[in-house]
Amino acid sequence: MMIHPDFLASLARDRSAALMAAAEARRRTRQTTTTTKIKIKATNDLASSRPPVRLRDGSAVLIRPVRKTDAPLLADGFARLSERSRWTRFLGRKSTLTDADLRFYTDVDHHDHEALGALDHVRGGGVGVARYVRDRDCPDAAEIAVTIVDDWQGRGLGTELVARLSDRARQEGIRRFTAVVAEGNTAAAGLLRSSGASLIHRGSGVAEYELELTGAPAEASWGKE
């Protein structure tokens, strides 16, 4: 059963307000400590044996599952998003990530909720994340969301993340992605279309897409972390 996009947009805004304001203040008061933790984490990640992924402009990223300890990386990446990028991602104004938001976005079970993060392989720090959340009423479907920091947009990172997230979803029994994006968000619409998604409905200020996940999943090259 298809839910009207107007209702989906309202739910998305309510979900953002309910699930995700104190994080920014806390981030400022402990900026030095947080920055140090981020650098240490990035160094440890980049020293791992997982090979980097080369994007179409030649830049390199490390892509791995999001961990519970990634809240500082996520908060840092959110701080680097422009106001427009935040608006299009959350379908409304979003100035901070709350502690509840950070827990929701990092404490994932890698089955009903999966998230893959991308780290700058040269400088460290989070530059993008793609996630799905399974539909409780339709277990073979999941809603997808992709966020790329502004200075990494247009390099092909979103395409790479969606491809890898699609494979993870197939491994967990998901056969269809849905996505609700703001009208005028040409980057997200283009990413979805290039990944094979179809526009199924337009509503008041939003568009709903659907992506069928066909084929067998590839054998996982890294485990859930």
pLDDT digit string, tens, across residues 16-60: 444 444 444 444 444 444 454 544 455 455 545 578 999 999 999
Residue-number span of the structural domain to which 186 is assigned: 5-212
Q: Is residue 195 part of a domain?
A: yes
69-75 mean pLDDT: 94
68-75 mean pLDDT: 94
pLDDT band at 199 (very low <50, low <70, confident <90, very high): very high
Look at residue 210 in the predicted model and tell me its pLDDT.
96
Q: How many domains does the chain have?
A: 1
Instruction: Name the pTM for this structure.
Output: 0.76
Q: Is residue 11 part of a domain?
A: yes
pLDDT digit string, tens, across residues 143-178: 999 999 999 999 999 999 999 999 999 999 999 999
The CATH number covering residue 79 comes to 3.40.630.30
Question: Considering only 12-26, 53-67, 83-97, 182-196, which range has the smallest mean pLDDT?
Answer: 12-26
Radius of gyration for the alpha carbons in the chain, expressed in angstroms and rounded: 17
Shortest CA distance to 63 belongs to which of 114, 128, 111, 8? 128
User: DSSP E strands: which ranges in the chain?
Assistant: 53-54, 60-65, 113-120, 126-135, 138-148, 176-182, 198-202, 206-212
Q: Considering the chain, what is the average pLDDT of its residues?
A: 82
Instruction: Provide, rounded to the nearest whole percent, the portion of the chain with pLDDT above 90.
Output: 62
Q: Is residue 124 part of a domain?
A: yes
Q: Is residue 95 part of a domain?
A: yes
Q: Is residue 86 part of a domain?
A: yes
Encoded tokens for 34: 């947080």
Q: Is residue 221 part of a domain?
A: no
Q: Is residue 183 part of a domain?
A: yes
pLDDT at 132 over 70: yes
Q: Is residue 219 part of a domain?
A: no
